Structure 1
Amino acid sequence: MRVLVSGASGMVGSALRAALQQNGHQIRRLVRRPVQAPEEVFWNPAEGDLHPSVFDDVDAVVNLSGSLVIQPPRRWTRSFIEELYASRIGSTRTLVEAMQRADAPPAMFLSQSGKDFYGEGGEFDESSPHQGGTVLSDLCARWEATAQAAPAVTETAFLRTGIVFGPRGGALGKLLLPIRAGVGGRLGDGRQFWPWIALPDLSKAMLFILENRISGPVNLSAPQHADVRTIVAELGRALHRPTVLPVPAALLKLALGRAPAEEVLLASTTMRPAVLLDHGFDFDYPELADAADWVAEELKRR
């Protein structure tokens, strides 16, 4: 299978590239700088610039583009929120419009989304409706609506991804810094639930979706639910660090701003990976303790 990947240099994109290569698939990378290797393809999503001929020899597209939702010291100003929307919706629109003009659109399109599609609460599966009411839930809904405009011949999957357990990047990466320094602890009261998935299972799941031609929404999270108190405690155990210094919700709101603190770190959501389980997907790290141990081992290698 020949797979075109946007966001291929990030934590998730790098893991996906490795999984694809290990399983004998060919990879082409979308880049925004001058092309430096045969597998690279130039695009400029800010300008809607992507030639439709790039799909002539591509079987599938995986869209992982999008800037980080928390970038201290930046706040969620109007301009920053517009940047969040543009980095996701603009890049997705560029891909979709190029597919629409292509003589041979790809058979599969995997477009990133997030757990925030559902809002707070749970237990959500892929049949649960969009609730709205927050910046991130609205962003995910619009993101998916843009991807839905892919050609009818292209089977499209919406990857509603939880917190990714990896050694760097994302919300967990920010949580790991104080824990590794021995000054970590729960966020707020710690009772909020975070859907989570280990990075190897995330890349394995995306490969599974491609190889099994699964379309529609897919929850990418482990089957085990965990609240932040438990997540922090397991990471502390695996890293042999104390986790007894909580960060009050008021301090998080002061440091990051009310909306990002509430929507990213303090919101509580549970979701079930029903589509993956119904298709027989086998998680390598279904238990939180095993995922925390994997993260700790990866950090030792760095």
Structure 2
Amino acid sequence: MAVFEHETFLPHPREEVFAWFERPGALHRLTPPFSGRVLSAPSDGIRVGSTAVIAIGAPGVLGTGLSAAAAALAPLVPSTPRPQLAWTARHTAYEKDRLFRDEMVRGPLGHWVHTHSFEDAPGGTLMRDTIDYGVPAERLFPGSTAESAARLFASSLRRIFDYRSDQLAADLAFHATHPGQPPAGRPLTIAISGASGMIGTQLRALLEGGGHRVLPLVRRAPAAPDEVFWDPATGTLDPEDLLACDAVVNLAGSRIGRRFTPAVKEDILRSRLSGTDLLARTAARLAGDGSVRTFVSASGIGYYGAHPHRGPAPEPLREDAPAGNDFLAAVCSAWEAATAPAARAGARTVRMRTGLVQSSAGGILAQILPLYTAGVGGPLRVPGTGEDPWQSWISLDDTVGAYAHAVLGSSAEGSPAAEGGALEGPVNLVGPEPVPGSVYARTLGRVLHRPAAVPVPAAGPRLLLGHEGAADLAFSSQRVSSSKLEASGYAFRHRRLEDALRHVLP
């Protein structure tokens, strides 16, 4: 039997902090992305009897007290083959604004009782996590004693709860400056396509954590009251289903990181144009009726082309830079053009040109992590030139934070965002400090304690992506400016690459 304790000070009223935990976004927002996934979200928030089921052992979602132990357990489990261990927890105590508790009812630990308590402190709230636990049976830890397993488990818990503290503090600060639609700061209703993807899942959770209502657009029969059916392939979306919406966010689009065969290229283009056109036309109709006022659509920095500039220190690209002439540039240009109906109808339309999103749960970082953990990671060089390509990265939390910032528009009176005004038009969604590829490789290697000096042979990306895909993706060089996003008042959580990587890697 062991006890783990962790304290977090939050400069917000106790009732406000506790209310955040009661909202549906809490589970995903407190999730370390480095292991596990939610099979079943809490059935009734943090109320007594609410249950959740988590699978540990694969990148995905872990979160509140219901799954912190699952996250901590994952590093202790042999990783080849990667197991899927089910974890079921149930809330067993609840005192409004003061305490809630969850307990493991099925899972690999001997036992687990997690008490979350909240008390007033000068200038804010002191939150205390107290966990009584027993390590799994020794058979789960070949070559280790139960005592050493307990020490390793406690070390993993400290990492998990440091992550949770950072997430909670940053989310509460964001909501304090983004209370909703002015002047009353009322909660909004927001429809999101692609809400189950890596970005969409976290964006939905962040918005719900602020008290807003999210309507996920789904291509199957709706399984929950807030889900809305749509089918871009047939142009099916009933505008009546979105009458209550203040904003629509479009994240839908098939995966780009594939070999650029003719069929794949057609799928990449069609999946973006059909959905964007349908949503933009629907938003336009509703804007004309006084409903939807904001339309935010994804795009990418591929808009500028794979190699928009040359030289060791090119000027950062701003939103008025011309489009490139390769395949992805053509896709992004057409993608953005498809938003035109919403803009013409008077909806504030924002086109988010997203950079290299950093998360161990997906995207480029998840793809290259196996190389680095094996000790064979390193920088890429542009074939034929030896150029050290620029990487315009952004953390996952800043990606969803900027989307939420674009949706919510003006923020709390007196905040920088209120002074900067609401975003509109194209917006570069990148971090403020892009880096050359060699710096990216060294930084990732340092965070992982792995070598990262030997350049990756060009044959590797070409084998996986083909010549065109490798040229447009792996060997692209884009130094992109975040000045418009910052001028609107958005405050980055992770300005430095190393900080972003340390946040999402164990």
TM-score above 0.5, yes or no: yes
On the 8 A contact 1:221/1:273 being kept in 2, the answer is yes
1:114 maps to a residue whose letter is: G
- Confirm whether residue 85 of structure 1 aligns to residue 85 of structure 2: no
Classify 1:237/1:86 alpha carbon distance in 2 versus 1 (closer, same or farther; 3 Å). Answer: same
Which of 304, 312, 322 matches 1:118?
Answer: 304
Provide the aligned length of Structure 1 versus Structure 2. Answer: 293
What value does the CA root-mean-square deviation take over the aligned residues? 1.6
Residue 95 of structure 2 corresponds to: none
Distance 2:322 2:253 in 1: 23
User: Structure 1 residue 105: deviation in Å?
Assistant: 4.3
Distance 2:450 2:204 in 1: 32
Residue-by-residue CA offset, 1:89-131 (whole Å, 9 max, x unaligned): 111011122234444441101000000111222521112222x
Which of 460, 468, 482 matches 1:273?
Answer: 482
User: Structure 1 residue 83: deviation in Å?
Assistant: 0.3
Distance 1:264 1:42 in 2: 33
User: Structure 1 residue 295: deviation in Å?
Assistant: 2.0
**Most deviating of 245-254 and 140-149:** 245-254
**Most deviating of 27-36 and 15-24:** 15-24
Gaps of 5+ in 1: none
Residue 216 of structure 2 corresponds to: 29
1:136 maps to a residue whose letter is: L
Q: Secondary structure at the match of 2:390?
A: coil
On the 8 A contact 2:379/2:452 being kept in 1, the answer is yes
Residue 153 of structure 1 corresponds to: 346
Q: Secondary structure at the match of 2:502?
A: helix
Distance 1:168 1:159 in 2: 21
Residue-by-residue CA offset, 1:7-36 (whole Å, 9 max, x unaligned): 111111111112101211111100111110
Residue 98 of structure 1 corresponds to: 282
**TM-score with structure 2 setting the length:** 0.56
Residue-by-residue CA offset, 1:190-246 (whole Å, 9 max, x unaligned): 710111101111111111112223211111111112012211221121122222443
Which of 113, 135, 143 matches 2:335?
Answer: 143
Residue 178 of structure 1 corresponds to: 371
On the 8 A contact 1:113/1:160 being kept in 2, the answer is yes
Q: Secondary structure at the match of 1:29?
A: strand
Task: Identify, as 1 or 2, the structure richer in strand.
Answer: 2
Classify 1:142/1:183 alpha carbon distance in 2 versus 1 (closer, same or farther; 3 Å). Answer: same
Q: Which structure's CA Rg is the greater one?
A: 2
- Confirm whether residue 209 of structure 1 aligns to residue 406 of structure 2: yes
Residue 164 of structure 1 corresponds to: 357
On the 8 A contact 1:43/1:50 being kept in 2, the answer is yes
**Most deviating of 275-284 and 108-117:** 275-284
Q: Secondary structure at the match of 1:156?
A: strand
On the 8 A contact 2:189/2:215 being kept in 1, the answer is yes
Q: Secondary structure at the match of 2:299?
A: strand
Residue-by-residue CA offset, 1:69-98 (whole Å, 9 max, x unaligned): 113xxx211111010001111110111222
- Confirm whether residue 43 of structure 1 aligns to residue 230 of structure 2: yes
Q: Secondary structure at the match of 1:47?
A: coil
Aligned-residue identity in percent: 38
Classify 1:31/1:190 alpha carbon distance in 2 versus 1 (closer, same or farther; 3 Å). Answer: farther
Classify 1:99/1:281 alpha carbon distance in 2 versus 1 (closer, same or farther; 3 Å). Answer: closer
**TM-score with structure 1 setting the length:** 0.92
On the 8 A contact 2:358/2:364 being kept in 1, the answer is no
Higher relative contact order (CA 8 A, sep 6+): 1
On the 8 A contact 2:283/2:295 being kept in 1, the answer is no
User: Structure 1 residue 260: deviation in Å?
Assistant: 0.7
**Most deviating of 251-260 and 18-27:** 251-260
